[in-house]
Structure 1
Amino acid sequence: MSTTKHVKTALTSMVVALGVVVPPAMAQSPEPPPITSYGGDPGRLGDPASWRTPEFNRDTGLVSIGAEFAYTAGYAGAGMNIGIVDSGFFAGHVREHGSLDTDYATGDRFFSVRAQGGETGLTPGFYDPAFNDSHGTHVSGTVAASRDGVGETQPDGPEANMHGVAFNSDVYLGNTHKTDGVFYGLLPPNATTVQTPDNAYLANVYRAVNTAKTANHRPIRLITSSWGSQPPTENYNTLEPTPGSPDGFGLNAAWRFLSTPDGVADPNGRTEHWLNGAIQVARTGTILQFTAGNSGYANPTPRGAAPYYLPDLEGRWYTTSGINPTVGSTFNADGSVLVPGQQEFNQCGVAKWSCVTAPSRSINSTWVDLVDGVPQPRYKAASGTSMAGPHSAAALALIMQRFPYLTNQQALYTMFTTGRQNSTISDAAGNAVPNPDAGRIVQVPDSRNGWHTPSLREAMKGPGQLLGPFRADTRGYSDVWSNDISDVAIRARGQEDAAEAAAWKATKAAKGWTHGLPAGASDIDKSDYATGTRREKARNARDHEGSLTKSGSGTLFLAGNDTWHGTSTVLGGTLSIVGSHAGPIDVRGGTLGGSGSVADGVDVAAGVLQPGVAPLEAAHEHVAPGNVLNVGGDVRIGREGRLAVAISGDSAYTSVRAAGDLVLHGNLHVDAGGTLTRGAVLTIMSGRSVSGTFHGLAEGGVVRADGHQFRVSYRNNRVTLTVTR
């Protein structure tokens, strides 16, 4: 079966023709499509710095997330559909919404999604000055404004031009029918019509974007939301109101309001609630991003914190806090970012396991000004987590493009576990203090930064950690994961879960909830109990160690120092260890190969153990060739298993070296070629001891392969083949 190949990050040459960046002929494949930009674009595959043009640098957020490393690997969002819910996009930004296909003369990558509901009639996704502001235009530009080299004709000239993170992607935008001033929580008594959301309509906007028919017939896999403002009736700095503060203060109170079930009147008298539409969409598997808010609280907004209250949303919903890339940032000698910046605005708080940070200060993007009442395209810098959210969402889209075989959740967790740490963390009192690990890859999310700032440099290399069981169905792709992959975060979460479980047990005892809620419990107690039991259920279901299951055709090469604690299982295709692997590996189908090391044992109950990486395969996949797979534990070949070795010379053959025992019951397959010397002894396996034999091959048995003949022996703790012909 043929295997589709990726463009690898190690490619170092390219062809530029009419603004199309094309990988070398050897690596051409249906995916990814070539990056398209303007003719003469200096960006080259394998040269990250070549992408840092003035247009690139005008969004200071691009270098902060390492966007150039996605582009240099061949990924700019082609084929990806990104959903946005915001205050419309101005269609007059034709060049920024266009593509090379039309020479940027039409906005052929930005699509309006129409929705209606509640008291709002059918509304397109386009900016309308009657009820919109520039917020959605700015956000959508950060996501996907084109890399056209010129930008719009406007008073500031081409010096204002910028491009979005995923500049080859398509955008599908649903309109809030409001400005960014609309409140998303408990309305104050004096709220104006402009500040009052149409809940039923907004819920339908999320549903409409999620089910929109796209130009390429592929799904919208993520929707980003930065719209709206915190009402003055709410405060998220604490979970419960502080003494003397209004009842609406505290994150828990804000969540109780926002999560009111449909059909039940909230304190504003509304019986339909927009958040329920968004939750419904997330439960279809689409990733939703909500920004964390701008007030400097210790927690994000309740919509950003939704996975804390509804743990089933983890892996489907996340929030984005901000960083100031001009404070605390440092750079490597090659111009790439080391420390992305300093966290600002609302912190990740209780949502830290579903939170990242991204650039949020003085972000230049597309804008619209009314000139004599007529909307005109402009560029403008703005600050806030509204600017951070589209950076992280578009980065996630590039990760999805890079790894088309990963699920949405797996792509999100790849972004989480490859984040680069910011300059500050919190001390025990919650104050910002210098981060001693600033610039390093995140290990465990913290309450200030969550998973810190996405790093596309690391994310292009695969996951940084396994957050529990990870089933990698490569679906015909062959790929290399070269990060050092651990499970340190999920093991740390096990300790957090234990502490939370003890606290919950004490709370239930103190409140008399050990056997359930008493009759006549208050609405607050009902909400708190529901949250506590949901979190208890999630804790009990969580696996606190990483494990990998490889399925589907194609080869997955593990090239890093992989230290997760769970078992790796091969069910289909090939898992090739070309780095180091700490845990045991079970083969239940497919093939285990490679020329690296496995510190624990290998059990081949079914499938194939095929050591080695051939030079041609190694060159194509940009991994090191080699003939020997080293195993630190036992190697067992079950009755349904098989060892396959390749021989091309007296000293050129593949083999397994084990520190433990060899237990043999399955078959032996030999692929022999080249010139062999009669009497040459080839050690294809070695270990502490050998028990059993290959099926049908007793001591001295004859193996014939490709015109050659060998005699097998199991003596002296080795399995040898002696050339007899």
Structure 2
Amino acid sequence: MKQFQPGQPHLRNPRSGWPRCRQLPWAYSPLASALAGCLALATGAQAAPYVETGKLGDAASWRSAEFKADWGLGAIHADSAYAAGYTGQGIKLGIFDQPVYAQHPEFAGSDKVITLVTSGIRQYTDPYIPVKAGDAFRYDGTPSVGSDGKLGSHGTHVGGIAAGSRDGGAMHGVAFDAQIISAENGDPGPEDGIILGNDGAVYKAGWDGLVASGARIINNSWGIGITDAFAKGGRDPAFPHFGLSDAQAQFSQIRPLLGTLQGGAYDGAINAARSGVLTIFAAGNDYNLNNPDAIAGLGYFVPEIAPQWLTVAALQQNPDTSSAEPYTISTFSSRCGYTASFCVSARVHGSTAP
């Protein structure tokens, strides 16, 4: 239901279908903003025009320093995809998250990021942010500010991992030629298992806008989460851990909301998949003895959407360097569990992102 900053593995962190990696925090101050702008302009003025060295049919030619900055690109064999001609060209990639900061240098270029403007009247009173049912909302890409005074950067972070430009800079995203469609969900965190924690009107507006934009894929780094009763169980088999029966209990609360404005978060996800959009949800940040929550598992509970549904668990580099397996499940990630038939795993730790 909610989101925090990426890269802090504990129970109530945000989730990322495009798994999270290292980032530099933004300080919210006019001075910091001015310095960032000056540095970006200076970098642009001094950099030579980028010349792509990657060639069709030659995977090795794509392994530039920029490529190697993120070990995850090699882990998923992105170089082979590029050599086969798959770079995201012509694909609209929806990021349903905090807003993607379109002025970030990694998103330079004409219409690299399209920001959707959504508005309406809230359905819920949120216990974590100062809003209540009946309040008007409007999201236009303006960065949110957390209680720590920093700009909310999770959407930018996810957007960079997914589609940051390949331009000879510090890093590039997996589908570097894709266009990003950014919609804000308005939730700063945390995820605590409350079914009515995702404002139906806010989420419906975002889902509707993303589908109407022509997005082929919509990534979601949010969810319901699970209650604190399973916090220890996610790491210790001696304690209860979240399983299929618990997810079924969550879905039994979701089902009556379908078709209502209160259920906009869930209806929107189901309808997006029904319309042919590949709908991606993170498995969760609830530690790896736990299963995904019910929204990440909607492809299980609504089988007709399973072909357009993808749940994503997080991998890290194996700390046991003597192991034949180079990667292992992240310490904080939920496992695929009951979503195994439509779930994949990808890297998280030690990567670089905006």
Q: Normalised by the size of structure 1, how large is the TM-score? A: 0.36
1:173 to 164, 170, 182: 182
Q: Mind listing any 5+ residue stretches in structure 1 that lack a counterpart?
A: 1-36, 100-106, 151-160, 189-195, 213-218, 265-269, 332-337, 367-725
- Matched to 1:320, the amino acid is V
Q: Which residue of 2 aligns with 1:127?
A: 143
Secondary structure, counterpart of 1:92 in structure 2: coil
Q: Are positions 1:199 and 2:200 aligned together?
A: yes
Structure 1 pair 59–260 and aligned structure 2 pair: CA distance change class (3 A)? farther
Q: Cα offset for 1:111? A: 0.6
Counterpart contact for 2:117–2:183, Cα < 8 Å: yes
Q: Are positions 1:97 and 2:138 aligned together?
A: no
Q: Partners of 2:334 and 2:315 in 1: how far apart?
A: 10
Q: Are positions 1:111 and 2:111 aligned together?
A: no
Q: Cα offset for 1:178? A: 2.5
Q: Partners of 1:274 and 1:306 in 2: how far apart?
A: 12
Secondary structure, counterpart of 1:44 in structure 2: coil
Structure 1 pair 185–202 and aligned structure 2 pair: CA distance change class (3 A)? farther
1:88 to 99, 115, 120: 99
Counterpart contact for 1:259–1:273, Cα < 8 Å: no
Q: Are positions 1:42 and 2:53 aligned together?
A: yes
Q: Are positions 1:186 and 2:194 aligned together?
A: yes
Q: Which residue of 2 aligns with 1:227?
A: 222
Structure 1 pair 353–185 and aligned structure 2 pair: CA distance change class (3 A)? same
Q: Partners of 1:87 and 1:186 in 2: how far apart?
A: 20
Q: Which residue of 1 aligns with 2:163?
A: 144
Q: Show CA shifts across 1:466-486 (max 9, x none).
A: xxxxxxxxxxxxxxxxxxxxx
Q: Which residue of 1 aligns with 2:211?
A: 210
Q: Mind listing any 5+ residue stretches in structure 2 that lack a counterpart?
A: 1-47, 123-135
1:322 to 305, 314, 327: 314
Structure 1 pair 220–349 and aligned structure 2 pair: CA distance change class (3 A)? same
Q: Which residue of 2 aligns with 1:466?
A: none
Counterpart contact for 1:207–1:278, Cα < 8 Å: no
Q: Which residue of 2 aligns with 1:74?
A: 85
Q: Cα offset for 1:227? A: 2.7
Counterpart contact for 2:193–2:227, Cα < 8 Å: no
1:286 to 258, 277, 283: 277
List, as ranges, runs of 4+ consecutive aligned residues in structure 1 with deviation greater than 6 Å.
Answer: 242-246, 328-331
- Matched to 1:360, the amino acid is V
Structure 1 pair 48–126 and aligned structure 2 pair: CA distance change class (3 A)? farther
2:351 to 334, 355, 363: 363
- Matched to 2:295, the amino acid is R
Matched residue count:
282
Q: Show CA shifts across 1:182-211 (max 9, x none).
A: 4374179xxxxxxx5322211221111010
Counterpart contact for 1:61–1:325, Cα < 8 Å: no
Q: Show CA shifts across 1:345-389 (max 9, x none).
A: 2111111111111112233211xxxxxxxxxxxxxxxxxxxxxxx
- Matched to 1:118, the amino acid is I
1:531-680 matches, cutoff 5 A: none
- Matched to 1:80, the amino acid is I
Quick check: 124-133 or 343-352, which moved more?
124-133
- Matched to 2:154, the amino acid is H
- RMSD across aligned positions (CA): 3.3
Structure 1 pair 40–91 and aligned structure 2 pair: CA distance change class (3 A)? closer
Q: Partners of 1:279 and 1:329 in 2: how far apart?
A: 42
- Matched to 1:279, the amino acid is I
Structure 1 pair 227–44 and aligned structure 2 pair: CA distance change class (3 A)? same
Q: Partners of 1:44 and 1:244 in 2: how far apart?
A: 51
Q: Partners of 2:322 and 2:307 in 1: how far apart?
A: 31
Counterpart contact for 2:87–2:175, Cα < 8 Å: yes
Q: Cα offset for 1:245? A: 9.9
Structure 1 pair 177–329 and aligned structure 2 pair: CA distance change class (3 A)? farther
Q: Show CA shifts across 1:468-506 (max 9, x none).
A: xxxxxxxxxxxxxxxxxxxxxxxxxxxxxxxxxxxxxxx
- Matched to 2:56, the amino acid is L
- Matched to 1:129, the amino acid is V
Q: Partners of 2:63 and 2:285 in 1: how far apart?
A: 29
Structure 1 pair 347–316 and aligned structure 2 pair: CA distance change class (3 A)? same
Q: Partners of 2:262 and 2:221 in 1: how far apart?
A: 24
Q: Partners of 1:85 and 1:231 in 2: how far apart?
A: 20
Bigger share in helix: 2
Q: Partners of 2:248 and 2:102 in 1: how far apart?
A: 40
Q: Are positions 1:341 and 2:337 aligned together?
A: no
Bigger share in strand: 1
Q: Cα offset for 1:225? A: 0.6
Counterpart contact for 1:91–1:126, Cα < 8 Å: no
Q: Cα offset for 1:43? A: 2.2
Q: Cα offset for 1:233? A: 5.2
Which of the two has higher C-alpha Rg?
A: 1
Q: Partners of 1:330 and 1:259 in 2: how far apart?
A: 48
Q: Which residue of 2 aligns with 1:162?
A: 171
Structure 1 pair 90–360 and aligned structure 2 pair: CA distance change class (3 A)? same
- Matched to 1:324, the amino acid is Q
Q: Partners of 1:261 and 1:62 in 2: how far apart?
A: 39
